[in-house]
Structure 1
Amino acid sequence: MTERAVGTDLFSTRRAGVLLHPTCLPGTWGVLGQSARNFVDFLASAGIRVWQTLPIGPTHSDLSPYQSLSAHAGNPDFIDLSELILSGLLDQHELDDGVLKPGRQSCFELAAQRFFALAEAEPDNQGYRHYLEYRAENDYWLDEFSLFITIREFHPGLNWLQWPTELRDRHSEALAAFAEKADSSRQRVRFEQFLFYQQWQALRHYAHERDIRLFGDIPIFVAHDSADVWANRHLFKLDSQGQSTAVAGVPPDYFSPDGQHWGNPLYDWEAMAGEGYEWWLQRLDSQRHLFDLIRIDHFRGLEAYWEIPAESGLSRDGYWVAGPGREFLEACFRAFPELPLVAENLGVISDEVEELRRSFHLPGMTVLQFGFDGNPRNPHLTHNHEPINLVYTGTHDNDTTLGWYESLDDRTRHYVNHYLGSSGENMPWPMIQAAFRSVSSLAIVPMQDLLGLGTEARFNTPGTIENNWLWKLDWQVVPSGLAGSIRELAGLYGRLT
């Protein structure tokens, strides 16, 4: 068994957490300012000690946080422009014009012009020193990302495979000429990322002061149309034109009876290994600076992944291929002995996947909604839980617990009620109570469940591309006594630290 240091105390004491993506927060000018602080205050008053988010990178038009433009960058839509008034980079009327997305970019351009003008006049000012430090620490990805985003802006509506050949294929002279022509735009992109980082770190500090830790999420695969694939084509299974030769997905499972065809390019793990997994180590390192705990989505893909031939649009045409497994994880923990990882081990999970997870002492996940198939040995039922694993009522891919419960057939609904000792009248609270009662050290509940919302509040339906990632928290519908009720339940089951 592999021994490693435990880099977080989050599993040494029973805690409760809430799952809510920042895009769900209300905010006219962005969410990483007062809106996020209000949510942290709510969590603190409720006795919640962990805030779990989804991936926080910039998205494509489908808004999926699992198909980001970068494995490192933050989503500039999160940045709270109103915070820039305090620093003198914007004024109120400019802010009022920046509500819509095109206006937001104009606000960023104005703020960047003022920031760098001040830096030119006072090169030793504190803000500019912090910016230079940020650049020095992040240019290993930020330089390519700023170039990638700027080319996208010059070729709207096109992915990098559709760019002029010399830019698509990264001819050095063409890239240098474009970079010089678009220098101010690249400067704005780098400035946006600096603002994101500053606001995120301020939020993280605010949360830490209230004994709340941030829990992030890394998708195992990255989007084809991303700075990462464009800048590192040799690390992916691509042809000479940049097209995928094989893509990722999953076979049929709970979420999708036909399987899922994700379309992400697959890694060339042999090439990754040849470079000491440096690309992945850099990815993990950037997330370590943002979060206190990190989930690897689709952990099973490290043991074996579902490879679908690129010419096929059907998941069932795929097959399992061995992943990098132990060698990869050993490299990760050599680089970061206290790497605070959680393994997402949902779906088609083999004994080999669980053996890999356990050999590195990685917490896994249980989801109460998955427990009621009639098998008393189902690992998602609370009497089969283990302290190291996390328990959820549901995840971002599930229906809300109330929506799920209302969709059950009568026999399964009776089983749920009987198991929970409930009449079902107050659902989802019997499920929330079961999660809090579990022996699992960390119990996490989506915010929609705490609000008792139905299917109308579902955040995502796997295998679909419409009406996802849109739900918003409305403080007007949050009961005044909700925080107290959550705190009481957390105290009852020993989850108040």
Structure 2
Amino acid sequence: SPTGYGDSPYQSFSTYAGNPLIIDIDMLFRDGWLDEEQTIPPNDIHVSSRVDFGKVVEWKIPLLKTAAQQFLSRAKPEDRVHYEAFKNDNASWLDNYAIFMSIKEVYDAKAKAENIWGAMWSNYWPKELASHDPKAVSKWHETHVIECETQKVIQFFFFTQWNALKEYANNEGISIIGDVPIFVAADSADVWANQHLFQLSNDGKLLAVAGVPPDYFSETGQLWGNPLYNWDAHKKEGYKWWLDRIKALLKMVDFVRIDHFRGFEAYWSVPAGEKTAVNGKWIPGPNHDLFMAIKNELGDIPVIAEDLGLITDAVKKLRDDFELPGMKILQFAFDTNEAGKGGFTNTFLPHTYDKNCVVYTGSHDNATMQGWLDAATKDEIQLIGEYLGFEKNDIENFAKNGKLCEGLVRLAFSSTANFAVIPLQDIFALNNEARMNLPSTIGGINWQWRMEKKHYDKEKAAWLKKLGMLYGRNIRN
């Protein structure tokens, strides 16, 4: 999805649209929509392990618009047939998205010129546009047809390339896991076009926002700031918005990881305007009702439930009643306080797993495994080493040279979990300079890491292949 505030995939302008920054410029040149010299990035955009989104956006978005306008002016009849089919197939979201983005560009530029920060549709756009008045929206479209069509063509580019990539991956026996953030961004086409489905005032202002109470990641909780759903309105419509969302994602991916699964049983509601998430309260969610609607419409879909955080018996029941696999994070497994209990029974330890789960060395919210080991106590390091069967005298050195990290990757592969997910950072035993996200923070290094060519290692690839063979994870179904 196209990222917004803080470059976060959890703050997207649309839950349906593809991120334009992923579009391959070289392929647009190959298809004839750009000249070769246009594909050369400026000197201040360097290929490194950290993406400078600001510079990339400044260069790439105008280039994509140029390519889109070239398409609109001289596409061949067969290209136009595919484009029209794409628009028809995605009209339920594409029209609103294109109009939203065209309005947003105009008023974001105006707000910037006036030195106004934090402007968005609900607090800056003209009232008739902010309220999604059909006549006003239609009039805008009539007077900004080229801008709206440009947005649609850019999405056409994205999905054409994505579908080709997915087909190639699937043919090679590779499945793709997609993430469904439970909440959407306030500054999004989703909320703007469906205001009755969210907890908003009559003028579109947030009444309460999403977050989680204090936990492992933050002493003051996490204040996400996303609008909360009006679940009564969703229920009256048969959860159509959610059904459409899941259907759209399943066209793009093979498995769906539902973020913050516990929020469907009960969600943490924080009054709008609070500085932290401390003063929130639990509010019942749709619970079984939503998932029964999904099951009735789509059958048994390939879902992974992100069941981390404060997980109650009611959340476990919701997960288990629909036989959804939960997540196991190895970084949460090694609790030295259990030593006095006569046995280690932490449910994140592999010897406690049922098969119907997915084990991760760490998620995008965790430190890298090596970064976590670097900060671990001596007792924790010893416990991990002993669990892995390493000689006591070797454990401390193994924690520093990456061997302990490799052992934990092997542990995930060898577990009984149906699936094992290993972040690239952990495969290469990279430290926290390669961390993906630090919860409760904005900017900094968040969401910037990417793998470089220098990380590719044939020996490491052979090692992974061997692990897959040893533990039966290379078998194609």
TM-score by length of 1: 0.85
> Which of 309, 331, 338 is equivalent to 1:347?
309
Amino acid of the structure 2 residue aligned with 1:71? T
* 8 Å CA contact 1:427, 1:452 repeated in 2: no
> Which of 349, 354, 365 is equivalent to 1:381?
349
Q: Given the superposition, is the C-alpha separation of residues 496 and 406 from structure 1 closer, same or farther in structure 2, using an over 3 Å criterion?
A: same
SS where residue 315 of structure 1 aligns?
Answer: coil
TM-superposed CA distance for 1:433, in Å, is 0.8
Amino acid of the structure 2 residue aligned with 1:133? A
Aligned to 1:432: 409
Matching of residue 134 in structure 1 with residue 109 in structure 2 = no
User: 1: distance between equivalents of 2:472 and 2:65?
Assistant: 50
Aligned to 2:244: 282
* 8 Å CA contact 2:5, 2:11 repeated in 1: no
Q: Given the superposition, is the C-alpha separation of residues 293 and 263 from structure 1 closer, same or farther in structure 2, using an over 3 Å criterion?
A: same
Aligned to 1:152: 104
Aligned to 1:85: 29
* 8 Å CA contact 1:345, 1:364 repeated in 2: yes
SS where residue 289 of structure 1 aligns?
Answer: helix
User: 2: distance between equivalents of 1:187 and 1:411?
Assistant: 60
Matching of residue 294 in structure 1 with residue 272 in structure 2 = no
TM-superposed CA distance for 1:105, in Å, is 3.0
SS where residue 386 of structure 1 aligns?
Answer: coil
Matching of residue 318 in structure 1 with residue 277 in structure 2 = no
Aligned to 1:239: 201
TM-superposed CA distance for 1:209, in Å, is 1.4
Aligned to 1:473: 451
TM-superposed CA distance for 1:225, in Å, is 0.7
TM-superposed CA distance for 1:392, in Å, is 0.6
Amino acid of the structure 1 residue aligned with 2:208? A
User: 2: distance between equivalents of 1:476 and 1:296?
Assistant: 33
Aligned to 1:263: 225
Matching of residue 400 in structure 1 with residue 368 in structure 2 = yes
Q: Structure 1, residues 219-240: CA drift from partner, whole Å, max 9, x if none? A: 0001111111111111111111
**Worse-superposed segment, 484-493 or 171-180:** 171-180
Q: Percent identity?
A: 40
Aligned to 1:25: none
Aligned to 2:176: 214
Aligned to 2:51: none
* 8 Å CA contact 1:219, 1:297 repeated in 2: yes
* 8 Å CA contact 2:20, 2:61 repeated in 1: no
SS where residue 25 of structure 2 aligns?
Answer: coil
Aligned to 2:73: 117
Aligned to 2:141: 179
TM-superposed CA distance for 1:326, in Å, is 0.6
* 8 Å CA contact 2:65, 2:154 repeated in 1: no
Q: Given the superposition, is the C-alpha separation of residues 316 and 106 from structure 1 closer, same or farther in structure 2, using an over 3 Å criterion?
A: closer
TM-superposed CA distance for 1:254, in Å, is 1.5
Matching of residue 71 in structure 1 with residue 15 in structure 2 = yes
Amino acid of the structure 1 residue aligned with 2:105? E
Please give the residue correspondences for 1:412-423 in structure 2 after superposition, counting only pairs within 5 Å.
412-422=380-390, 423=395
User: 2: distance between equivalents of 1:360 and 1:347?
Assistant: 20
SS where residue 82 of structure 1 aligns?
Answer: helix
Matching of residue 489 in structure 1 with residue 467 in structure 2 = yes
Structure with more contact order per residue of length (Cα contacts < 8 Å, sep ≥ 6) = 1
SS where residue 101 of structure 1 aligns?
Answer: helix
Q: Structure 1, residues 369-414: CA drift from partner, whole Å, max 9, x if none? A: 0011234221100101111100010010000001101101112221
Matching of residue 459 in structure 1 with residue 415 in structure 2 = no
SS where residue 331 of structure 1 aligns?
Answer: helix
TM-superposed CA distance for 1:477, in Å, is 3.1
User: 2: distance between equivalents of 1:241 and 1:248?
Assistant: 19
Amino acid of the structure 2 residue aligned with 1:101? V
Aligned to 1:60: 4
User: 2: distance between equivalents of 1:245 and 1:146?
Assistant: 27
TM-superposed CA distance for 1:97, in Å, is 6.2
User: Please, which runs of 5 or more residues in structure 2 have no aligned partner?
Assistant: 46-55, 113-118, 339-343
Q: Structure 1, residues 435-479: CA drift from partner, whole Å, max 9, x if none? A: 011001111100000111001110100011122111121111333
TM-superposed CA distance for 1:288, in Å, is 0.7
Aligned to 1:33: none
More helix by share: 2
TM-superposed CA distance for 1:95, in Å, is 2.2
User: 1: distance between equivalents of 2:69 and 2:192?
Assistant: 29
Aligned residue pairs total 437
TM-superposed CA distance for 1:60, in Å, is 0.9
User: 2: distance between equivalents of 1:478 and 1:97?
Assistant: 23
TM-superposed CA distance for 1:90, in Å, is 1.3
Matching of residue 409 in structure 1 with residue 377 in structure 2 = yes
Matching of residue 197 in structure 1 with residue 159 in structure 2 = yes
User: 1: distance between equivalents of 2:474 and 2:68?
Assistant: 43
* 8 Å CA contact 1:237, 1:265 repeated in 2: yes
Report the aligned-residue RMSD: 1.5
Q: After TM superposition, what 4+ stretches of structure 1 lie above 4 angstroms from structure 2? A: 97-100
SS where residue 92 of structure 2 aligns?
Answer: helix
**Worse-superposed segment, 444-453 or 253-262:** 253-262
Matching of residue 106 in structure 1 with residue 62 in structure 2 = yes
User: 1: distance between equivalents of 2:306 and 2:196?
Assistant: 27
Matching of residue 188 in structure 1 with residue 155 in structure 2 = no
User: 2: distance between equivalents of 1:163 and 1:319?
Assistant: 32
